[in-house]
Amino acid sequence: MALEIEAKIRVADLKPIADRLISLKAVLKGTVREEDIYFDNGAVELIKKDCGLRLRKRLSDTQPPQIILTYKGPRQESAFKSRPEYQVRLDDAETMVTIFQSLDFRESLKIQKTRQIWRLDDCEICLDEVTLLGLFVEVEGASDIAVHTVLAKLGLNPADHVSEGYARMMAARLNLGK
């Protein structure tokens, strides 16, 4: 089972974090534009189970476009956000959407963001500018300790961790399901 362990911190400005990453000799993997499309059935069973089904379209100036299908299972006990996560790369987003629609899954939410992806120690750090939501730093690693260590190096307080994912935040922002 793949397990996602991540901390998400809302910030007022991404530049000081990028500067800190540079001073720590973190590796910049690139900047991408992502469009995440979430799917659920008419009974919103995935949301009720605290799960997610996402089709991500990733565009980069330096790499070919990517399409990634992700299933996120229910949250696990952890200091940060932790849940099973399974991903597979696809080469045809439109056909996948047609398959979902044939199974009575519909687009429930769309999120757009610009993301700078960095690597420090054993963690991936994403500096995100999310349309309608703001600026965030995500630190993802193999353990709570790894995530906590990188947060400390970046001068970020683990107590400021936002436990909701972008999908929940966007649904609340758009007053969906109310």
In this predicted structure, the answer to whether residue 177 has a pLDDT above a threshold of 60 is: no
Query: What's 3-173's CATH class?
Result: mainly beta
Cα–Cα nearest to 154, from 15, 8, 24: 24
Residues in contact with 178: Cβ distance below 8 Å, sequence separation at least 6, in sequence order:
none
pTM exceeding 0.75: yes
User: What is the end-to-end Cα distance of the chain in Å, rounded?
Assistant: 34
Instruction: State pLDDT tens for residues 17-51.
Output: 999 999 999 999 999 999 999 999 988 888 888 88
In this predicted structure, the answer to whether residue 178 has a pLDDT above a threshold of 50 is: no
Report d(CA 121, CA 152) in Å as an integer. 12
Q: What's the DSSP call for residue 122? A: T
Q: Where are the domains of the chain?
A: 3-173
Rg (CA), the chain: 16
